[in-house]
Chains A and B, each alone.
With several copies, the nearest count.
Chain A
């Protein structure tokens, strides 16, 4: 594929093009790992509104999008950021204040919903959740669903096994597919056409990527196609799934990126304190997100010694011995 067909664009253009107000969106990563934070911050910087956000346990990115007021509705399994926030702080405030619509699922249910979207089927079955409020309590009511073409009419459906007691399973929960308008994932390596490689646990990134109408890949390193094709067993996302490739070193910061850098305990602790107070949180947004024009400028505000401290050890893939208090 010639250079003329490159999908490489800058982050500002990628978000402008693929994340309109009101978009249904999902982001990759898990709690404090490989969230596409540069893209999250750019969405905030562009003051996107009314997003419908699908998340399994995409911790830090979810909390910042909610905190900045970008999210109108949330479908989620888990909002926590490990020890830094057993419950994500701005998420908790938004829900207790009634600022956003929300609906609860389990992690596997959300995983299967993305998987159904990726597979091109309307639902997948599971035994998870039978008998629980995940089935009984709907966050979005029937009329809201029926009036919105982008929501399925039912939250979850319990089905008697049409194969009798086959597999000793009398009934299953059907979870409806998700096909987001756009998904954003952050990967270690990609080429200009979007062929992508994730090192370490892929979480649900691959299913989220394939379920989506549009896909933005941000990457630590933009590499030659041949580098990736020489070891194809390690690659996960084929070029034809990808709309935009954005080269953003440290693009998951302050969350971790296996083999590259650790999460930044200093930033996350600072965030934790700021997030707890509305006035301090406004200042945080101003200082760290609206102030800088790019992720590079945001990074320039971080003590270089701290960035150095979180660089991954080549042997372990994380910052061995990092002070994580």
Chain B
């Protein structure tokens, strides 16, 4: 088996979550790369989709923002933000969307904070804010979350609740009035979490080589179930080759 980097591992983990026919809502960086790689590996008929309104862009160069002019080239449709979010809220197309997102904090139900740390009105640290994150998390069928595993990020209580995950359990979204769907997986630098279909609480699904479940728990403020965790299946040679050669030959992201 080939050598591979942590970023490659994380990217391939996301690629494996994308199914054929999915509309892949992504941001820049690793999430975009995962969407590109999925089209070559497992989901040739998936669509790369940006909240700015670009559908199925030909990404000859890596965009540095979802508003980068590189997302506007050779697309299927250059729509507006209104169009993009309506596609996700739409009762039919929204069910085809898988959203890839990150955040500053996450709780055990996959609820996210991308707004601020400390008091909302006079925060200790201010982040950019929701952007489309709350919208995507509210609307779409499944979300894939990228997070770096740190105690201050995997928290018992969010400082600000920006984007809904499973809210507070199996009935959380329904009680709240949100559509079905929610966080599907959390991909970190140490392992991969999923959510129990009973409790909707996060559990450890798998851990990377040289990492133990205990070390993972040490990096979290809350405790998750780790009993069924297994070693993460490493990227295959084929996956790595496609990722490196077809998606990021200049190693701009990887």
Q: Do chains A and B touch in the complex (CB under 8 A)?
A: yes
Q: How far does the Cβ of A57 sit from chain B's closest Cβ, in whole Å?
A: 6
Whether the Cβ atoms of B139 and A128 lie closer than 8 Å is yes
Determine which of A111, A195, A256, A318 lies in contact with B85 in the assembled complex, contact meaning CB atoms within 8 Å: A111
Whether the Cβ atoms of B81 and A56 lie closer than 8 Å is yes
* Interchain CA distance A235-B66 in the complex, whole Å: 20
Whether the Cβ atoms of B78 and A233 lie closer than 8 Å is yes
Point out the residues of chain B lying under 8 angstroms from A83, CB to CB: 28, 64-65
Residue of A nearest to B167 (CB): A131
Q: Is A272 interfacial (CB 8 A cutoff)?
A: no
Point out the residues of chain B lying under 8 angstroms from A46, CB to CB: none
* Interchain CA distance A212-B91 in the complex, whole Å: 9
Interface residue total, chain A, C-beta cutoff 8 A: 97
Whether the Cβ atoms of A239 and B130 lie closer than 8 Å is no
* Interchain CA distance A133-B159 in the complex, whole Å: 10
Point out the residues of chain B lying under 8 angstroms from A77, CB to CB: 129-132
Whether the Cβ atoms of A81 and B133 lie closer than 8 Å is no
Point out the residues of chain A lying under 8 angstroms from B65, CB to CB: 31-33, 59, 80-83
Q: How far does the Cβ of A118 sit from chain B's closest Cβ, in whole Å?
A: 6
Majority-rule SS of B interface residues: loop
Q: Is A320 interfacial (CB 8 A cutoff)?
A: yes
Question: Provided the pairs A108-B132, A240-B93 are in contact, do residues A132 and B73 lie with their beta carbons within 8 angstroms?
Answer: no
Whether the Cβ atoms of B68 and A256 lie closer than 8 Å is yes
Whether the Cβ atoms of A87 and B120 lie closer than 8 Å is no
Whether the Cβ atoms of A108 and B85 lie closer than 8 Å is yes
Question: Provided the pairs A1-B44, A127-B179 are in contact, do residues A137 and B160 lie with their beta carbons within 8 angstroms?
Answer: yes
* Interchain CA distance A210-B88 in the complex, whole Å: 11
Interface residue total, chain B, C-beta cutoff 8 A: 78
Q: Mark B113-138, 1 if CB is under 8 A from A, else 0.
A: 00110001111111111111111001
Q: Is A92 interfacial (CB 8 A cutoff)?
A: yes
Q: How far does the Cβ of B21 sit from chain A's closest Cβ, in whole Å?
A: 8
Q: How far does the Cβ of A213 sit from chain B's closest Cβ, in whole Å?
A: 6
Whether the Cβ atoms of B45 and A107 lie closer than 8 Å is no
Q: Is A152 interfacial (CB 8 A cutoff)?
A: no
Q: Is A41 interfacial (CB 8 A cutoff)?
A: no
Q: Is A246 interfacial (CB 8 A cutoff)?
A: no
Whether the Cβ atoms of B163 and A132 lie closer than 8 Å is yes
* Interchain CA distance A82-B127 in the complex, whole Å: 13
Point out the residues of chain B lying under 8 angstroms from A170, CB to CB: 177
Q: Is B79 interfacial (CB 8 A cutoff)?
A: yes
Q: Mark A103-136, 1 if CB is under 8 A from B, else 0.
A: 0111111011001011111000011111111101
Query: Within B60-75, which residues are at the interface with A (CB < 8 Å)?
Result: 60-61, 63-75
- A and B contact pairs by CB, cutoff 8 A, 23 listed: A30-B66, A30-B67, A96-B126, A106-B131, A106-B135, A107-B51, A107-B85, A107-B132, A118-B90, A129-B134, A130-B164, A130-B177, A169-B177, A179-B91, A195-B77, A200-B69, A229-B56, A232-B78, A237-B77, A238-B77, A317-B72, A318-B70, A320-B61
**A30-B66, A317-B72 are known contacts; what are 4 more A-B pairs with Cβ within 8 Å?**
A87-B126, A106-B133, A120-B86, A239-B56
Where the two chains meet, the residues of A that have a C-beta atom closer than 8 Å to any C-beta of B are: 1-2, 5, 29-33, 56-57, 59, 76-84, 86-88, 91-92, 95-96, 98, 104-109, 111-112, 115, 117-121, 126-134, 136-137, 139, 158, 167-172, 179, 195, 200-204, 206-207, 210, 212-213, 225, 228-230, 232-233, 235-241, 256, 258, 262-263, 312, 316-318, 320-321, 324
